[in-house]
Amino acid sequence: MHPHRYTLQQLQNNEVGPVKRLQMVEQLTEFPQEILALKDSLEVLDLSDNKLSSLPDDFDQLAKLKILFLSQNCFTELPHVLGRCKSLEMIGFKSNQITVVRSQSLPLSTRWLILTDNQIEELPDRMGALTQLKKLALAGNRLKKLPDSMANCTELELIRLSANNLNTLPKWLFNLPKLAWLAFSGNPVCGARSNALKEFAKVKLSEYVLGDKLGEGASGEIFLANKPQDDQAFVAVKRFKGAITSDGYPQDELDCCLNAGTHTNLVKTIAQINDGSSLGIVMELIPPSYHNLGLPPSLITCTRDTFQNDTYYSALQVHHIAVQMASVLTHLHAHHVSHGDIYAHNSLIDAHSHLLFGDFGAASQLHHLDEYQRDAMQAIEVRAFGYFVEDLLKVSAFTSEAQLALKSRLETVIDACTAERVSERPKFTDIMGLLQQD
Euclidean distance between CA atoms 102 and 139, whole angstroms: 18
- Residue 135 identity (one-letter amino acid): K
Cα separation, 166 vs 170, in Å, equals: 10
Contacts of residue 438, Cβ cutoff 8 Å, sequence gap at least 6: none
How large is the greatest C-alpha to C-alpha distance in the chain, in angstroms? 70
DSSP symbol at 295: B
Ranges assigned E (strand) in 302-401: 313-314, 337-338, 347-349, 355-357, 364-365, 396-397
Cβ neighbour number for residue 105 with a 10 Å cutoff: 19
Task: Let me know: does 211 contact 225? Beta carbons within 8 Å.
Answer: yes
202 labelled ligand-binding: no
The β-bridge partners of 396 are 313
Closest Cα to residue 403, out of 308, 313, 323?
A: 313
Please state, in angstroms and rounded to a whole number, the distance separating the CA atoms of residues 34 and 397: 50
CA 224 – CA 209 distance, rounded (Å): 9
In sequence order, which residues have a C-beta less than 8 Å from that of residue 199 and are 6 or more positions away? none
Please tell me the distance from the alpha carbon of residue 169 to that of residue 434, in angstroms, as a whole number. 31
Burial environment of residue 394 by CB neighbours within 10 A (0 to 12, 13 to 18, 19 or more): exposed
Task: Please report how many Cα atoms fall inside a 13 Å half-sphere around the Cα of residue 369, on the Cβ side.
Answer: 23
Binding-site annotation, residues: 238
Binding-site annotation, residues for ATP: 238
